[in-house]
Amino acid sequence: MEKVLRDLPNYRPNKAPVKKTVKEIIYHIVGIVLSLAFIMPIMYMIATSTKNESAYAAGVGTLNMFLPDFANLGVAFENYGNVLLNYDIWKYALNSFIYAAIVIVLNILINGLAGYVMAKLTFPGKRLLSFMIIFLIVVPVETSIIPLYSIVKIMLGLKQEMSVLGVILPATISIFNIFLFTQFFQNIPKEYEEAARIDGASTLDVFFKVIMPLSKPILATVAVFCFIGVWNDYLWPSMILPSADDGSWPLLPIQTALISIKSIESITTGEIMASLVITSIPIFVIYVAAQKYIVQGFGTSGLKM
């Protein structure tokens, strides 16, 4: 075998293992430096969240800025405890989780059905709808936020309890998700459906029992998008929701609440950073957990615009 290989024109035996090790070391050093550039602000955020005001001030401008205050770990607990209990972050976080859960379920159902119809069924008027999908993806939504505001206000009236629907309902429709679903479903072979059809399944049965189980990657992608969209949105909720100060359960989601928490006069930098860390954790966990599916979702849907 060795002899045969040696006769090949491009055969290069393992003659320089040292060179390869050096290459590996350089690769990892470059990688570490680059990684630091990307997580530096996160380290700063986490480190500052463990400090009180004087430790923070002392650290500014030195390397300590990026290192937690190990001497005084009690301060860290104090910061996180204060933020969670005194400033009610946990209530706002719970709100965001509830909004996100409802939006994810409705969004997948509504846009998934639409994507399935666009991918698999033929009906008159389909060409108009597929043109509108591309058109509506291109139109920037921000341009119509004020008419949207008036429409939602008229629909829901001025009752405070109803304004929750104003946060949830507009988030349940996403043209981009319809586009993603359509692209994904188009690549599912017909045979799966035909087999179910022969067994007498209706279109809805096919969608729920055949298509959905085959679509885990795209479901995960859309669910993650929805969660992040709801979790990180602050402009729209701040317009539509009342900021209740009368001691009742607040309706604001976490990001909107964060803006007002940051402007509380007595709050310390450490406490602000602690609230930022808490706000980032769910998204980070979800991304790391669903990363494989997100890459698959993009890869298999063969995005073509």
Partner 1 sequence: MATTSIIIFALFLCAFGGFVAYDLVTAKRRKEVYRIKSSVTAYLMLLPAVALAFLFILLPILYSLGYAFTDYYLLQPDKINFVFLENFAGIFKEISAKGMLYNAIKNTVTFVIGVVPLQIGLALLLALFVNRPGIGSKIFKVCFFAPVVISLSITAFLWEQILAPGEGGLLNSMLSIFGVPPHDWLRDPATAMPCIIVLSAWQGCGYQMLIFLSGLSNIRKDLYEAASLDGANWWHQFWNVTWVGLRSTVVYILITVFIGACRILTQPMLMTGYMEHTVTLSYYMYNSGYSERLVGESSAVALLMTIFIGGITLIQRRLFREK
Q: List binders of partner 1 among 71-130 (CB under 8 A).
A: 109-111, 113-114, 116-117, 121-129
Q: Are 224 and 234 in contact (CB under 8 A)?
A: no
Residue 33 carries which side chain, given as an amino acid letter?
A: V
CA–CA gap between residue 145 and residue 76 (Å, rounded): 40
How many chain residues are in contact with partner 1, going by CB under 8 A?
Answer: 90
How far out from the chain centre does Cα 214 lie? 22
Nearer to partner 1, 74 or 287 (CB): 287
Window 8-37: residues binding partner 1 (CB under 8 A): 10, 27-28, 30-31, 34-35, 37
Looking at beta carbons only, is 35 or 74 nearer to partner 1? 35
Provide, rounded to whole angstroms, the least separation between the CB of residue 136 and partner 1.
Answer: 6
Does 200 bind partner 1 (CB under 8 A)? Our answer is no
Q: Which of 169, 188, 196, 214 binds partner 1 (CB under 8 A)?
A: 169
Residue 82 or 282 having the CB closest to partner 1: 282
Among 222, 257, 258, 261, binds partner 1 (CB under 8 A): 258
Residue 75 beta carbon to partner 1: minimum distance, rounded to whole angstroms: 19
Residue 4 engages partner 1 in binding (rule: CB under 8 A): no
DSSP E strands in the chain: the ranges are none
In order of 101, 120, 218, the CA distances from 183 in angstroms are: 24, 11, 10
Which whole-number Å values give the CA distances from 263 to 51, 230, 259, 266, in the listed order? 19, 22, 7, 9
Contact with partner 1 (CB under 8 A) among 170, 196, 214, 242: 170
For the segment 138-167, give every residue that binds partner 1 (CB under 8 A). Answer: 138-148, 150-152, 154-155
Q: Can residue 203 be called a binding residue for partner 1 (CB under 8 A)?
A: yes
CA atoms within 13 A on the CB side of 65: 9
φ/ψ bin of 286: left (φ > 0), alpha (ψ from -120 to 50), beta (otherwise): alpha
CB-based contact 11:29 (threshold 8 Å): no
Smallest distance from the beta carbon of 247 to partner 1, in angstroms?
26
Question: Any contact of residue 262 with partner 1 (CB under 8 A)?
Answer: yes
* Element of type H or E holding 155: helix 145-156
Largest CA-CA distance found in the chain, in angstroms, rounded: 85
Tell me if 209 contacts partner 1 by CB under 8 A. Answer: no
Query: Tokens for 40?
Result: 């530096």
